[in-house]
Structure formats: C-alpha cells, structure tokens
Amino acid sequence: MKKSFLVSLFAILVSGCMAQEKAIPSFNWANENGKHDLSWALKVGAKSYPGNKLFKVKDCQTVNDGKTLCTKQIQDAIDACNSAGGGTVVFAPGKYLTGALFIKKGVNLCIGKDVTLMASTDISNYPELKSRIAGIEMVWPSAVINVIDQKKAAISGEGTIDFQGKVFWDKYWEMRKQYEKEGLRWIVDYDCKRVRGILISGSSDISLKGVRLMRSGFWAVQVLYSSYCTVDGININNNMGGHGPSTDGIDIDSSTRILVQNCDIDCNDDNICIKSGRDADGLRVNRPTEYVVVRNCIARKGAGLITCGSETSGSIRNILAYNMKAYGTSSALRIKSAMNRGGTVENIYMDNVKADSVGSVLAADLNWNPSYSYSTLPEKYVGKEIPEHWKVMLTPVVPVEKGYPHFKNVYLSNVKAQNAKQFISASGWNDKLRLENFYLNNIKAKVEEAGNISFTDHFSIKNIKLKVSDKSKVVLKENTNLKMKICYE
C-alpha cells in the first residue's frame, strides 16, 4: 500500500467526516404552534479529525491469517501513534484476529478495503470494565474496539470488522430458556455478558466512517456519555449466520450533539436507537440524550428505523431524522418506555420516510414489554445473596410517580408506506398520563389494519391517506383535543 494512496485516502475520509450541511431542509410539521427552532441541527457531529502521519501494524510481528491473535501488535501501533502526537494506523491486506483494542487520542484506526479484523470468540480477551449496559451501570466486558475518555479519534476505512458474535448469541438463547422457567426474564440480558462491537464512551470529537460491521455479539455501536461524534456511512449486518438477540445497530446513549448519516443497518433489534438509562439507576445518573441528527439512513430487519427508549430515564429531546428508508423493520418511528423508567421524550422530528413491509408507521407505548421491563425477585432467591446488578435492577423508584414517563411534542411528516401491517399504535397510560402534542401530516400508507389511538391529548392527524386491507378504521379511545382527517381509500 503506497504512502501517496494512503494520504489521498486520508484526505477523502477527512472531507467526508467533517462535511456539515450549511442549512437544514425546510419542513412542514403541520401544527398550530408556530415555528420550530432547529438551528441546533447545524451544530452536531465531530469537529476535528486525526492527522495523516502513518503508523503501520508491524508485518514482521503479525501473522495476518485470521487465526493468530494479533491484539498486541495492533495495540502497539495505536500506542505508538498516540505517543507521537497522533496519526493514522494502517494494515497490510489480510485478516487479523484480535481481542479488545483501545483507541487513543489523535489516532485514526484505518481498516483498508482488503483488511478484515476478526474478533476473538474467547471472552477472556475482553477485560471487564465499568460501563453502562442496557440502561444500568455495571461491570461488563470491554468491546472489540473501545474509545474511552478520548478526544479527536476515528475508526475508518472500507474494510470489515467481523465480530463473530454467534457464540454469544447461542449462549444467550440457552440461558434465556432456563431463566424464563425461573421467572428471571428481566435479568438474563444482564447476566449473559456479551461483547459489544464498538464502544465510544466519555469521549468527544470521535468519527466512525465507512467500515462494514457484522455479527456483533451484542450492540454493534454504542455512543455513551459522549458529545460531538459522527457515525457516517457504516454498513451493519448482524443477522449473518443466525438470529442475534438484542443486536442493535447504533445506540446513542446519554450523549449530545451526535450525527448519524448514510448508514445501512440490518439487525435483530432496534436499528438506530436513542437511549438515556433505565429505572432507578438511570434516574440517578440523569443524563439526557439530546441534539441528535439522523439522515439518509436505511433500516432493514430490526425493531425500529428510529427508536426512542425503552431507556428514557435521563430524558430524550431534540432529535431530528429525515430522508430515511425502512425495509422490513418493525416500525418507522417507535417510542417506548415503562412505568418505572421516568424521563421525558420530547421534540422528536421525523420527515421524508419511505417504508416497505414495516410493522407500523408509528408505535408509541408508555408500558412496553412488561416481562422485560419490570424486575421481580422470585421467592426462591429471597433472603439469599444476589449479584450487585440484580440489586440495582430491583431498586424501586420512589416515589412511584417519578417513574412515570412522558411523551410529548412528536412530529412525523411526509411518509410513504406500503405492505405495512398497521398504520398506528399509540397509547398513553390513563386519563392522567397521556401522549401529548403528536402531529402526523402528509402520510400515505397501504396497511393490513388501521390500528388504534388511546389516552392522548392534542393528537393531530392531517392529510392522511390509508388503504386498509381489512377495511378497518383507526380505533379511538379516551382521547382529548383530537383532530383527525383520514381519507380511507
């Protein structure tokens, strides 16, 4: 690989990662509340990028056959790059078997077109560290690639990272069978320690661009407690060779000023998910996710093109998604929580969506998946010593009202959907805890059934054209200040 080529590649990556739109598109949210200030959307994503001084993973010390563990050689190159003030770490073509890698300040780990990183399937190659997983802070294995408490770093290139996660999928499914028998469905995800793909935690000015990711053992990309990060042009396929449980695509978790664009995601759970902690532990941390732009992305199999929750404890606000496509995912827009999560989900904007074979156009539920969302200790464990993270999960939210989530100010416009199962499923909790200020505008959908709307306040549906296979109409229950104009074709 010639140096001149690498310098040119670096220039392309920098221009791609640092490009920002000078203006946001014009949107018509069709509500009566006046203008929306979305100027914050111009101030997201990484603001800087590592330099172009090259550091090679030493060929003479590395067997790039995909079978010989190369963690030390790769980490040595990363450390040397960092010690020299930063630059770009490059590989000779080949396959490299690795355990946990830790990216440092000023380092761009560039995985070239003819390079594949193969993640070790031996969990001992991933040292445990304190992190947050699925909404609570606990000790967990490090990810395959970790960017922890760093600035101005990147992971880039046209190559592939194969996380080889099936061994962890199989472990989970076996554990879940037993846990469900014992009334422990609520804790199996936390007891089954599975290796994440890429973790960006406590960091800023981080870029992830162009890499192909596959078969992550757990979430593919988690951006946690971070700011000014860009995820651009990555391809995620977590369904190769099996059914990967909870293999989210991209999770933005208690982070701010994040840009996600040009990504293509096929996974088993939420495709692009916005999170902020769960239950008592999430309320303790109390860090929101806010000021996030998602654009020009494709979701394939999965649970939601854009999902907010179910971890909502720190609140989620000011999320803008536009120019999106969904093929076979469960929902175009999904907002979910539980009655012990707390937090507020607000100011969610989504525009220009094309959906084919989705489960629903909009799904909003304050009381999602009770078997997973609520923790109850079976009688056989009462009075016995239990793991610390069990105690965290069992900690009650006091007062109980603090655990009530709130959804408000949600705007969904310009959607075309075909072969969808349902148009809408939107439900508050009761007459005192409603979905507030939802505005749906200019939606054309062919669906099997119309769906339902219940316990809402100021729910507005305008310019909606539905072709419903079973001839049903939207079922309405206990709504106040509802405005609905639907043309049933």
Asked if residue 52 lies in contact with residue 235, where contact means CB atoms within 8 angstroms, the answer is: no
Residue 60 pLDDT: 54
HSE-CB for 92 with a 13 A CA cutoff: 12
> Which tokens go with 190?
């936390």
Residue 2 pLDDT: 45
Assess if residue 88 is contained within a domain: no
Say whether pTM exceeds 0.85.
yes
Over the chain (489 residues), what is each successive 10-residue block's mean pLDDT? 44 47 83 83 96 84 86 96 97 96 98 97 98 98 98 98 96 96 96 98 98 98 98 95 89 98 96 98 98 98 97 98 97 98 98 98 95 94 97 98 98 98 97 97 98 98 97 97 95
Cβ neighbours of 123 (radius 10 Å): 16
Assess if residue 278 is contained within a domain: yes
Assess if residue 34 is contained within a domain: no
Domain that holds residue 192: 3-18+41-49+165-488
Assess if residue 322 is contained within a domain: yes
Assess if residue 190 is contained within a domain: yes
Assess if residue 36 is contained within a domain: no
Residue 178 belongs to a domain with what CATH number?
Answer: 2.160.20.10
Assess if residue 134 is contained within a domain: no
Domain count, the chain: 1
With a CB cutoff of 8 Å and minimum separation 6, the contacts of 10 are: 52, 88, 108, 110
Assess if residue 200 is contained within a domain: yes
DSSP characters for 19-77? ---SSPPP-----SS-----GGGGS-S-S------EEE--GGG---EEEEE-HHHHHHH
Asked if residue 459 lies in contact with residue 486, where contact means CB atoms within 8 angstroms, the answer is: no
